[in-house]
């Protein structure tokens, strides 16, 4: 029977309730019943089928099917296998995982336990962003509570299943969110992404088969096991089911996190939930999915926040970090901030990325100073083209996309700087 959803914010439903953060409070609200059901009544293959059927897409940026990823894990080998929970969350504009760690640690751990059963993984490493000290402390406490209650460790639910969880704190590098950079860092090496193939399902943490999923991806799983795939598909769009936690920041009256069905129109998020720009000013542009995603101009905000529809507008859902810029914003200054970040965070292994990020930053700063030439705009596009799809990881693409987006929709801002030999937006934010 299809369970009728009584709320569209099932992930964050209890987040105002302090008791939900404790094991006792979580269990009193039905917590760990889904894990018990999965481990006691379902085979690992059944759980994978269920999650595949639900259509759950990874919420860490790429939107890959979670069930499909789990099915790549070998379950018959003698060697250990691992899960990694990616809690690095360093994408500017993204802060949904922080609240899931702070307020929903047990919900995420339950999702991890179900995924561990499905993939028959021995250990999960939770890699937490270095700056997330309080969320990591909350998580440590949840892990201790789960061990004390026999929900982690040996013979879980009396079914002979064993699983361990290790919380690992990062040291604050954006590139350690890229899954193979993360694995290197977890192993105690420099966080430099690996060449693929082999993919983590064949050669992951410590050389063993590994599945990496995002904090939010794991957090959806108990709800799917509890309520079924059809229930989950009752939210969102046909291709992008479920809800997502959208983090709104920038020039809005009510910045914050909003859990809404996938496919919610971007203009509804900006103007209804976040209540639009203060003091009646107009929106100039919105980055829909975290800083590495291409910007959309004010006239294109009637787009559903789902992977398939955003791709049609040459941008992506990413991590759902919605960054709003009002009409006073200088898009060349925005480009200066964005390119500075990527120049600083490149791991330096690939020439196109190491040099390209520096070039992009140098050129946009030159244009902002009023020292740019007409050829600089074409040069920016040329450098972006030389960075895309040519490097070890997608960081270089993520550095090029926002510049391409700014030039696609706000080229006249750049041209005006060149013509006037100064920044024509005196009311914009300071650099």
Beta-carbon contacts of residue 68 (< 8 Å; ≥ 6 apart): 52
The closest alpha carbon to 217, from 115, 289, 285, belongs to 115
Q: For the window 298-337, what string marks contact with ligand SF4 as x by the rule CB under 6 A? A: ----------------------------------------
Q: For the window 150-189, what string marks contact with ligand SF4 as x by the rule CB under 6 A? A: -------------------------x--------------
Strands 243-250 and 321-326: parallel
Closest approach, Cβ 174 to ligand SF4, in A, equals: 9
Closest approach, Cβ 406 to ligand SF4, in A, equals: 20
Closest approach, Cβ 196 to ligand FMN, in A, equals: 11
64 scored as a contact of ligand FMN (CB under 6 A): yes
Q: Which residue is nearest to ligand SF4 (CB)?
A: 353
- Please give the residues from 389 up to 408 whose contact with ligand SF4 meets the rule CB under 6 A: 391-393, 395-396
How far, in Å, CA of 288 to CA of 94, rounded? 11
Instruction: Give the range of 62-70, 142-150, 153-161, 350-358 binding ligand SF4 by CB under 6 A.
Output: 350-358
Closest approach, Cβ 219 to ligand FMN, in A, equals: 10
213 scored as a contact of ligand FMN (CB under 6 A): yes
Q: Which is nearer to ligand FMN, 192 or 329 (CB)?
A: 192
- Please identify which residue in 114, 322, 347, 360 interacts with ligand SF4, judged by CB under 6 A: 347
177 scored as a contact of ligand FMN (CB under 6 A): yes
Closest approach, Cβ 349 to ligand FMN, in A, equals: 12
Closest approach, Cβ 408 to ligand SF4, in A, equals: 22
Instruction: Give the range of 25-33, 349-357, 359-367, 410-418 binding ligand SF4 by CB under 6 A.
Output: 349-357
Q: Which is nearer to ligand SF4, 200 or 222 (CB)?
A: 200
58 scored as a contact of ligand FMN (CB under 6 A): yes
Cα 73 from chain centroid? 22
Strands 256-261 and 243-250: antiparallel
- Would you tell me which residues interact with ligand FMN (CB under 6 A)? 58-62, 64, 86, 88-91, 175, 177-179, 212-214, 217, 393-395, 398
- Would you tell me which residues interact with ligand SF4 (CB under 6 A)? 175, 193, 346-350, 353-354, 391-393, 395-396
């Amino acid at each position: 029977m299809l369970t009728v959803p009584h709320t569209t914010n099932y992930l964050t439903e209890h987040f105002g309730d302090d008791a939900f953060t404790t094991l006792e409070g979580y269990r009193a609200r039905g917590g760990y019943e889904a894990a018990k059901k999965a481990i006691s009544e379902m085979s690992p293959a059944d759980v994978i089928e269920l999650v595949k059927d639900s259509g759950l897409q990874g919420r860490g940026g790429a939107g890959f099917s979670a069930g499909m990823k789990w099915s790549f894990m070998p379950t018959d080998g003698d060697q250990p296998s691992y899960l990694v929970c990616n809690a690095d969350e360093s994408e500017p504009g993204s802060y949904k995982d922080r609240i899931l760690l702070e307020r929903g640690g047990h919900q995420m751990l339950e999702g991890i336990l179900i995924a561990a059963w499905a993939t028959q993984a021995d250990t999960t490493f939770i890699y937490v962003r270095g700056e997330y000290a309080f969320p990591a402390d909350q998580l440590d406490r949840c892990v201790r509570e789960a061990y004390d209650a026999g929900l982690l460790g040996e013979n879980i639910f009396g079914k002979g299943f064993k699983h361990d969880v290790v919380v690992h704190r990062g040291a604050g590098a954006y590139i350690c969110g890229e899954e193979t950079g993360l694995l290197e860092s977890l192993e105690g090496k420099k966080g430099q992404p690996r060449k693929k193939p082999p993919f983590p399902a064949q050669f992951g943490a410590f050389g063993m088969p590994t599945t990496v999923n995002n904090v939010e991806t794991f957090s959806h799983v108990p709800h799917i096991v509890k309520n079924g795939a059809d229930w989950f598909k009752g939210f969102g769009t046909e291709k992008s089911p479920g809800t997502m936690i959208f983090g709104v920041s920038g020039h809005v009256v009510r910045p914050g996190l909003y859990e809404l069905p996938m496919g919610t129109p971007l203009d509804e998020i900006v103007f209804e939930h976040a209540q639009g720009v203060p003091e009646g000013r107009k929106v100039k542009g919105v980055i829909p999915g975290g800083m590495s995603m291409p910007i959309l101009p004010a006239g294109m905000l009637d787009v559903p926040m789902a992977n398939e529809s955003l791709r049609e507008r040459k941008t992506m859902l990413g991590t759902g970090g919605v960054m709003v810029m009002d009409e006073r914003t200088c898009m060349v200054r925005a480009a200066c901030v964005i390119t500075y970040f990527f120049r600083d965070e490149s791991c330096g292994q690939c020439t196109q990325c190491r040099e390209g990020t520096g070039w992009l930053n140098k050129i946009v700063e030159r244009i902002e100073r009023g020292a740019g030439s007409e050829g600089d705009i074409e040069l920016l596009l040329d450098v972006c083209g030389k960075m895309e799809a040519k490097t070890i990881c997608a960081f270089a693409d993520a550095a090029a996309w926002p510049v391409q987006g700014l030039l696609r929709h706000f080229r006249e801002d750049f041209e005006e700087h060149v013509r006037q030999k100064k920044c024509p937006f005196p009311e914009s934010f300071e650099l």
